[in-house]
Amino acid sequence: MTEKFIKNEQFNFIKKQVALIKDSIKKHVPPTVLNATIGLANAKALELLPHASAEQITLLDLSNLKTEDQFEQYLQQLSAYVIDFPHITEQQLKKMFPKSKKLKLPDLSNLAGNKLTYLGWNDLRTNKKYLVYELDGKLVGIECKMSAIEKNNICSICNGHGEVTYFSTITKSKKANNPDYYKAIGNLICTDSNKCNEKITNVDYLEIFLKESLGIEQTKDRMYYVNEDAFRKNRD
């Protein structure tokens, strides 16, 4: 068996493509349209993993599938190749968040096999949300303040629609000429991080947010990671 090679968010992306195809099958679109949809999905799946081996390309290939069942089976098979979240101990987590004296820890007993892009959990006693993610090969964590908002909305991390909370954090980045400069950044995020992990299809925003929070220099253009309006409303 080839080793696990698909990241959770990549698997979700492929899952989304398959959902589109299954939808087209259900709607009985003309065969030419269906074939084009399948072809495009296949190209996108392969594009995600440009360094895939011949064996992996065969596993990813969905161009010869026809029925809904076959697509379902394809996903089932592919899900076995989703890379596990890195092993992490309670000790490591406590070290990661030294300021949280009574850190509420997530359940680490069944991390393997759980499809996770990031590890996220809430502490409802303190209204905090914690995110842990492997950034450039290193596990990093941030602690955010959560403020409940009542409406369902779009999550900035996974772009999915669902129950969200406003989360904000103080960035560690400082301005050279002003050591007292602190900037809070925040946005909407799925309240339930497990649901977020089922929907996330790319890590662009997550990485930008983490880098900004941790004060890691970014070369990319600064993007719209701060929902200023929401922040202001929340703060006032």
Interacting residues with Zn ion (CB under 5 A): 155, 157-158, 190, 196
Question: Which of residues 8 and 42 has its CB atom nearest to Zn ion in the complex?
Answer: 8
Q: How far is the CB of 79 from Zn ion (least distance, A)?
A: 20
Q: How far is the CB of 45 from Zn ion (least distance, A)?
A: 22
Question: Which of residues 74 and 166 has its CB atom nearest to Zn ion in the complex?
Answer: 166
CA end-to-end distance (rounded Å), the chain: 56
Helix axes 31-48, 8-26, angle to 10 degrees: 180
Q: How far is the CB of 25 from Zn ion (least distance, A)?
A: 28
Question: Which of residues 71 and 167 has its CB atom nearest to Zn ion in the complex?
Answer: 167
Q: How far is the CB of 21 from Zn ion (least distance, A)?
A: 24
Question: Which of residues 78 and 157 has its CB atom nearest to Zn ion in the complex?
Answer: 157
Please report how many Cα atoms fall inside a 13 Å half-sphere around the Cα of residue 47, on the Cβ side. 9
Q: How far is the CB of 128 from Zn ion (least distance, A)?
A: 17
Question: Which of residues 47 and 150 has its CB atom nearest to Zn ion in the complex?
Answer: 150
